[in-house]
Structure formats: C-alpha cells, structure tokens
Amino acid sequence: MSAKFESKSITRRRALQAGLAGAAGVWLANRVGWTAEDAAPADKTAAPDGAAATEEKKAAPPEKAKAVIQIWMWGGPPHLDTFDPKPDSGNDYAGPLDRPIETNVSGIRIGQLLPVLAKQADKFSIIRSATHGNNGHETAAYMVQTGREPGGRTVYPSVGAVVSLFKGYDGGYDGLIPPYVVLTQPQGRFSEAGFLGAKYKPFATGGDPNAARFVVEGVVAPGISDKRQQDRRALLGNLNALARAMQGDPRLNDLQKAEEAAYDLILGDAGKVFDLSTEKQELRQEYGLSTFGQSCLMARRLVEKGVRYITINCDGWDTHKAHFAAMRRKLPELDKGMGTLIRDLADHGLLETTIVWCTGEFGRTPKVDWQPPWDGGRHHHGACFSMLVAGGGFRGGQVVGESDALGEQVKDRPVYPWDLMGTMYELLGIDPETTVRHPQGTLVRITPNADDGVKLGGRLKELT
C-alpha cells in the first residue's frame, strides 16, 4: 500500500480492497464518503466525491421512532387478496380467494391466506386508499420510494437515504454496520441515494439468510472458516512492514481503523448479528424457513443493533399470469414472516420505536383477466391499492380510507406516498419541510408540497 493513501480520495471498491476482506470498506466508505465511481451511471445529479448534502436546520418534531423496516413487495401486491378483500364482488374480482377472515380487531377482515397477521391486527393499521395513478414499475417505484413524481432533472433520494442522512453517521449513528441496509438485493432499478450521493446508498447484504451460513457481502467469505481468517490476519501482520516502518503516521490511521473494524465485523461481536444460528429453531420456523422469513428475523436483529433503516426486498408479485397459484405460495410466506416480525418486535420491546411499512409500487387490477395467455392474472393498478403500517408511533387496529365496491378507485380519504412519508419523517423526529442542499447549490425539500403541483391527502394524523 502506498504511503500516499488518503482517505478523502478512497472509493468503495478501493476501500473494499484496502480494507482486508471488504468489511473495512463498508466501515470506511460510510465515514469518508464514496466517490462517483460507485454512483449509478444514470444518476447525473449525484453528489461529487465525499460531498454530503447540507441540511438547512429547522426545529424537529419529537422523535417517537428510531428505525424503519420497509417490506418492499416488488412487482405490486394484490390489495383484494391481502388487506382490502371484496368477497361480494364475484368470481371476476375475488376469484377463488373469496373468504376473508376476521382479525383480532372487530370489524377488520383481511385475506384468507393471512391467519398469522390476523392475530396481530391490533398492532398494525391498514391504508386502503393509497394512490398515485401510475402503472409503470420503475416510475411507480420511484414515486413510492422517494415521494416524488418522475420526470424533471432532479433525481430525488429514497426514504432510506433521507433517514440515513438525518439519523445515520451525520446524525450521531456510530455503528459498524451501515445505517441503511437492504436484505438482500437492491429494491429496484433506480438510484436510491439520488442527489445526496453514493454515501447514502444502502448496503445490500447479498447472500441468503436462510442458508446454512448467511454469506454477507464483504463480511462473510464463502468457504473461509474463522480459523483461516485468523491465520490470514496473523500472516498479514507479519508481512506488513509498511505499518511497522510508519507506526504512528497519521496518514495510516484511517486504514488501521478500517482494518480493526473489518476484523470486528468478520470475527468479533459486531458481525455476530448476521449469525442466525444463535436464534431458537422454534422461532426461526415461526418466521418461515425461507429467504423472506429469515430476512424478517434478520431485520429484527439489525434493529436491535441500532440500524436505522432496513429494506426487505420481497419480489415475485408481478403476477400477470396464473395469479392465484402464485398467491397460494407467496401469501403464506408473507403472513408468517411479517406476522411473526410484528409480534417479535413487540415481545422485544422494539415495536414502539420501530416503524414497519409494507407496500409495493402499486396494487393489482381488481378485475381478474381469465383470458389466455393470462389464465387468471392481475395486472398493474396504481389508481387504488393498500399499505400496512405498524409501530413507531402509528396506532394499531385502524383502517384508513376506503376503496369503492370493486376496489378499483379510491372512495374516501386518498393517501399519496408523500403523505405517508411526511408522517413517517415526523415520527422519526425529522421535519418534513426541512430542506437539503443539492450539489448545484439549490435547496430542496425532503417532501413535496402544493407548490410542486402534486395532490395532497394530508398527513396521517388519524394514526398518530
């Protein structure tokens, strides 16, 4: 390693190389900023190397929530089969899933394949009038993830990136694990950090938490035992003549800290959060022995470690064909994972300070397409869909809004993505009207208002 190493110029890739097996790169890159080498090519407004957005300070609301777990149902979940059943709509709408079940809250019924969630309804609330009217995967995902309409020259950050800015390393967070984590792959084809820059992108774990060993990118090397890692560290120390020759040189301080952080993640207590074998097998089975179920358990453990924002990327909901066969596979998996997560967070005393937010980019068409080649498919539907929220200051056992008799349009109390985001920011102690500085010097609000020409349903005061 050259003695000219400077932390201000390190890239994520260089940090992963210089940081000994990658974990140090995670630690170092989040503190010194990542360069444009790591920004998505389409992100023309990303912040330059090391540039963090400068927030314009305003009085913050009281903090009720400390973390968010976002369950991202990529592809668009069907609201009629989950949280807004319409059993009297007939076979062309309800299909074979026409027997909704009662929950533990009188008057609230949900889809028949969600019995575990039905027992937790007093802890969550349902929004049945979510809307934005966009039927394109990428554009709708951008709206639901960022709270901004697509188009224009500004690439806005996702909710996770905004939380990472205000509540992450710039906001007092000092954990070795990055404050914004995705289990296990990025949740869509857009730049999560937007103009905030690559420092605020999520750390995607890769791997599979349901595998015998959860191989986390940059932390767990496949096929390498702890003993071998220890031997490698000893060998590296013996060969590192530069560190001995320049002992005490401030130019090597960041690298030495990165090495220590790397081995704490790989071999020390910090990395043990990714070892699910320490959990009782009975609990793991309750979550479901699937990638999604074990991701939900992993999310609870990350919250315990203080991680601020966790996205569980749960794909497979783009069911244009053979929809109901897919639902008989997907819904029980969702039910076990999310239902157990909500209960487990409550059992650990974490639900009061952790927001659980379940949504996709839109819903599915209420009317079933029985014609070939769809054979009972549901298509994209952004006019009206459902979301679920729990914890972190949100009241449980409530239903907000109403769809029409067929679930096609909002009948009462429209809720736009930015309405919910503003409410979540308030619960997190972040003023939704706060501005951050764009790299070009302009000030940008973290949520839109009427001046931006968007429709507003208003903050969800009925749930807070």
Reply yes or no on whether the pLDDT at 251 is more than 90: no
- Structure tokens given for 64: 């009720």
Would 257 be classed as within a structural domain?
no
When pLDDT is cut at 50, 70 and 90, the band that residue 234 belongs to is low
Average pLDDT over residues 61-88: 97
Using 50, 70 and 90 to split pLDDT, how confident is the model at 215? confident
Residues of the domain holding 210 = 53-214+283-463
User: What percentage of residues in the chain have a pLDDT greater than 70?
Assistant: 76
CB within 8 A of 282, min separation 6: which ones?
A: none
Confidence of residue 37 (pLDDT cuts 50, 70, 90): very low
Q: What is the average per-residue pLDDT within 116-136?
A: 98
Number of structural domains found in the chain: 1
Q: Give the highest mean pLDDT range of 33-47, 187-201, 316-330.
A: 316-330
Q: Which of 46-55, 128-137, 244-253 has the lowest mean pLDDT?
A: 46-55
What percent of the chain is modeled with pLDDT above 90? 69
CA quadruple 29, 26, 205, 164: dihedral positive or negative? negative
**pLDDT value for 8:** 40
- Predicted pLDDT of residue 217: 83
Whether 121 shows a pLDDT value over 50: the answer reads: yes
Torsion angle of C-alpha atoms 387, 392, 398, 401, degrees rounded to 10: -40
Residue 413 lies in a domain: yes
Q: How far apart are CA 309 and CA 202, in angstroms?
A: 9
Q: Domain for residue 74, yes or no?
A: yes
Helix or strand holding residue 29 (H, E) = helix 23-32
Q: Establish if 20 belongs to a structural domain.
A: no
Which CATH number characterizes residue 292's domain? 3.40.720.10
- Count of CB atoms situated within 10 Å of the CB of 295: 28
Q: Please give the average per-residue pLDDT across 369-386, as a whole number.
A: 97
Residue 445 token pair: 């609000």
Q: Is 250 helix (H, G, I), strand (E, B) or coil?
A: helix
Residue 45 has pLDDT above 50, yes or no: no
Predicted confidence at residue 272, as pLDDT, reads: 84
How far apart, in whole angstroms, are the C-alpha atoms of residue 84 and residue 87? Answer: 10
Would you say residue 114 has pLDDT above 60?
A: yes
> pLDDT of 392-446, one tens digit each?
999 999 999 999 999 999 999 999 999 999 999 999 999 999 999 999 999 999 9
φ, ψ for residue 399, nearest 5 deg: -125, 130
Q: Is residue 408 part of a domain?
A: yes
Decide if 234 is inside a domain: no
C-beta separation of 232 from 240 below 8 A: no
- The rounded distance, in Å, linking the Cα atoms of 175 and 168 is 9
Q: Residues near 459 by Cβ (< 8 Å), separated by ≥ 6? A: 419, 422, 423, 426, 432
pLDDT surpasses 90 at 259: no
Among the ranges given (91-105, 226-240, 278-292, 402-416), the one the predictor scored with the smallest mean pLDDT: 226-240
DSSP 8-class letter at 60: P
**Quick count: other Cβ atoms within 10 Å of Cβ 44?**
12
Query: Would you call 204 helix, strand, or coil by DSSP?
Result: strand
Please state the pTM of the whole predicted model: 0.85
Which residues are 180's β-sheet partners? 309
> Can you tell me the mean pLDDT for 186-194?
79
Is 62 or 26 the better-scoring residue by pLDDT? 62
- The answer to the question of residue 437 being in a domain is yes
How many CB atoms neighbour CB 211 within 10 A? 12
Is residue 176 pLDDT above 60, yes or no?
Answer: yes
Rounding to the nearest 10 degrees, give the CA dihedral for residues 39, 45, 46, 51. Answer: 150
Q: In whole numbers, what is the pLDDT of the chain averaged over residues?
A: 85
The answer to whether residue 416 is domain-embedded is: yes
**pLDDT per residue as tens digits for the range 141-172:** 999 999 999 988 899 999 999 999 999 988 88
Nearest to 110 by CA among 331, 392, 395, 406: 331
